[in-house]
Amino acid sequence: MDVVRIRGGNPLRGSVKISGAKNAALPIFAATLLTEEPCIIENVPDLSDIRSMGELLAHLGAKVERLDPHTWRVTAGEISHTAPYELMRKMRASVCLMGPLVGRLKRSVTSLPGGCVIGPRPIDLHLKGFSKLGCKIDIEEGYVKMDGSALKGGDVFLGGRHGSTVLGTDNILMAATLAPGTTRIESAACEPEVIDLCNMLVAMGANIKGIGSHALVVEGVERLRGCTYRIIPDRIEAGTFVLGAAMSGGNVTIQGARYDHLTALFDKLEEAGLPIPRGESDQIQVNASGLSLSPVDIITLPHPAFPTDLQAQMCALMAVTPGLSIVTEKVYPHRFMHVPELQRMGADIAIEGASAIIKGVANLSGAPVMASDLRASAALFLAGLAATGETWVQRIYHIDRGYEKIDEKLRQLGADITRMPASEMPTQFLEEVAAGEG
Ligand code: EPU
pLDDT in tens, 236-251: 999 999 999 999 999 9
pLDDT of residue 431: 44
pLDDT category at 87 given cuts 50, 70, 90 is confident
pLDDT of residue 438: 39
Q: Is residue 422 within a helix (H) or strand (E), and if so which, with residue range?
A: none
CB-ligand 1 contact for 282 (6 Å cutoff):
no
Atom 39 (ligand 1) nearest CA:
23
CB-ligand 1 contact for 93 (6 Å cutoff):
yes
pLDDT category at 115 given cuts 50, 70, 90 is low
Q: Is the peptide bond before 304 cis (omega within 30 degrees of 0)?
A: yes
Mutational pocket test of ligand 1: of 132, 156, 162, the residue with most ligand atoms within 8 Å of the beta carbon:
162
CB-ligand 1 contact for 304 (6 Å cutoff):
no
CA 38 to centroid of ligand 1, rounded, Å: 29
> Is the pLDDT assigned to residue 194 strictly greater than 60?
yes
CB-ligand 1 contact for 126 (6 Å cutoff):
yes
> Is the pLDDT assigned to residue 42 strictly greater than 50?
yes
Cβ-proximal residues to 75 (8 Å cutoff; 6+ apart), any chain: 36, 37, 38, 39, 62, 63, 65, 226
Say if CB 394 and CB 371 are below 8 A apart.
yes
Taking residues 89-112, report their average pLDDT: 94
pLDDT of residue 237: 98
Beta strands 13-17; 39-42: pairing state: unpaired
Question: Which pLDDT tens digit goes with each residue over 381-418?
Answer: 999 999 999 999 999 999 999 999 999 999 999 999 99
pLDDT of residue 82: 93
pLDDT category at 432 given cuts 50, 70, 90 is low
Three-state SS sequence of 118-145: CECCCCHHHHHHHHHCCCEEEEECCEEE
How many Cα atoms within 13 Å fall on the side-chain side of residue 143? Answer: 16
CB-ligand 1 contact for 332 (6 Å cutoff):
yes
Burial of 359 (0-12, 13-18, 19+ CB in 10 A): middle
Taking residues 418-426, report their average pLDDT: 90
DSSP 180: S
pLDDT of residue 434: 46
DSSP 301: -
Taking residues 4-11, report their average pLDDT: 97
Query: Is the pTM above the cut of 0.95?
Result: yes
Beta strands 13-17; 251-255: pairing state: parallel
pLDDT of residue 430: 59
Atom 26 (ligand 1) nearest CA:
23
Cβ-proximal residues to 355 (8 Å cutoff; 6+ apart), any chain: 326, 327, 328, 329
pLDDT of residue 424: 87
Pairwise CA distance, residues 89 & 109, whole Å: 14
The average confidence (pLDDT) of the chain is: 95
Question: What atom in ligand 1 is closest to the CA of residue 123?
Answer: 8
Active-site residues: which are they? 116
Question: What atom in ligand 1 is closest to the CA of residue 128?
Answer: 8
Burial of 69 (0-12, 13-18, 19+ CB in 10 A): exposed
CA 357 to centroid of ligand 1, rounded, Å: 24
pLDDT of residue 114: 64
pLDDT category at 426 given cuts 50, 70, 90 is confident
